[in-house]
Every structure is written in C-alpha cells, then in structure tokens.
C-alpha cells in the first residue's frame, strides 16, 4: 500500500539539513527504502546463513564475513511484511550501527538494491502518521525523487537490540 501524502508538515529547515546526504535505496515488497550511505559497509549476494536457535523469526542467523561472525536480520519479517522467496536479486546489506556496546556490524536481507541517491534538504519531508505498519520511530523521513517516494530508515533504531527482542511481530 503506497503511503499517501496526507497533511505533510512543513519540514523545518534545520531538521531537513541534518537529514540531507547520500542514501542507498533498496526494495522491500513494493516499497523503496533508503538508509544513509555512511551506515553501509558492504553489499553482498545472498550466502549461506547459519541459523541460531531460540531466536525470533526475523533473526535469520549469522554469516561469515571474511572471518567476522555477523548477525543477519530479515527486514520483511522485522516489519511484519509476509516473507517472500529469496530470488537472485535478494541481497544482504551489511550495515554498521550503534549498539549499546559500540559500533557493530549487522546484515539485513532485502529484496534488491537500487541505487545511491543524493538528497537535498528540500527533497526530504517528515513522515505523516500512517498507522503502525511500520513504527514511526524507525523513520527519518520521506523523500520524493523522480516522482517516486522513498522511505528513509533510521537503521540504528531498526536494528537496536531492544527492538530485536521486544518486537515479536509489529504487524
């Protein structure tokens, strides 16, 4: 369900500035999302994920990233979107997020990666409140580029440890 622009608030100039910059965009279901390029460490094709017992469904397990053991989250399941078959386009984006103990690497499984876009402050707007399908606190804002809307994620919040465990299913 594409988000409709309801009464989008006027983004204050100060806010929009902070969010301007380069974003890596990717697809999940029919939505386009973006995360700050600074948070992206690597993009790789799907590889064998070792499942870890006693974890919620959206935590797929761990992978070997050149000697480091990195956890991998399925973003669809995390957001409560029904799981889909992994295709050739399915990728793992390895992100670096701020956890309680410092910077950690975490991988997210996405349907496909699109491109890197450079967003100016004026292209970013605040998110309208459109229910709890995707919790508002995960969103930095929305951007309209070339007629398409991209949802900008605060990946630190999405992957914070408390979220990982207290989520259950958000849908």
- Would you tell me which residues interact with other proteins (CB under 8 A)? 48, 50-56, 59, 61-64, 66-69, 71, 99-101, 104, 106, 161, 164-165
The least distance separating other proteins from the CB of residue 104, rounded to whole angstroms, comes to: 6
| CB closer to other proteins out of 13 and 67 | 67
Residues in a beta bridge with 43:
93
The least distance separating other proteins from the CB of residue 78, rounded to whole angstroms, comes to: 12
The least distance separating other proteins from the CB of residue 131, rounded to whole angstroms, comes to: 27
| CB closer to other proteins out of 18 and 168 | 168
| CB closer to other proteins out of 62 and 135 | 62
SS3 state of residue 81? coil
A 10 A CB-CB count for 40 gives 19
The least distance separating other proteins from the CB of residue 165, rounded to whole angstroms, comes to: 6
Residue 123, C-beta contacts closer than 8 angstroms, at least 6 positions apart: 143, 144, 145
**What order of strands is seen across the sheet that includes strand 91-99?**
40-45, 91-99, 102-110, 68-74, 59-65
Question: Running DSSP on this structure, what letter comes out for residue 85?
Answer: -
| CB closer to other proteins out of 68 and 89 | 68
């Amino acid at each position: 369900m594409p988000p409709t622009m309801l009464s989008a608030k006027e983004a204050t100039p100060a806010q929009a500035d902070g969010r301007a910059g380069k974003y890596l965009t990717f697809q999940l279901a029919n939505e386009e999302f973006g995360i700050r390029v600074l948070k992206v460490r690597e993009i790789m094709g799907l590889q064998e994920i070792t499942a870890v017992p006693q974890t919620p469904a959206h935590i797929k397990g761990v992978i070997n990233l050149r000697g480091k053991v990195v956890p991998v989250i399925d973003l669809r399941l995390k957001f409560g979107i029904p799981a889909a078959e992994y295709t050739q386009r399915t990728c793992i984006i390895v992100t670096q997020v701020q956890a309680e103990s410092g910077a950690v690497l975490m991988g997210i499984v996405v349907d496909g990666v699109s491109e890197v876009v450079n967003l100016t402050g004026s292209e970013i707007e605040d998110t309208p409140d459109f229910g709890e399908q995707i919790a508002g606190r995960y969103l930095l804002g929305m951007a309209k580029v070339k007629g398409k809307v991209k949802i900008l994620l605060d990946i630190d919040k999405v992957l914070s440890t408390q979220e990982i465990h207290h989520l259950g299913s958000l849908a």
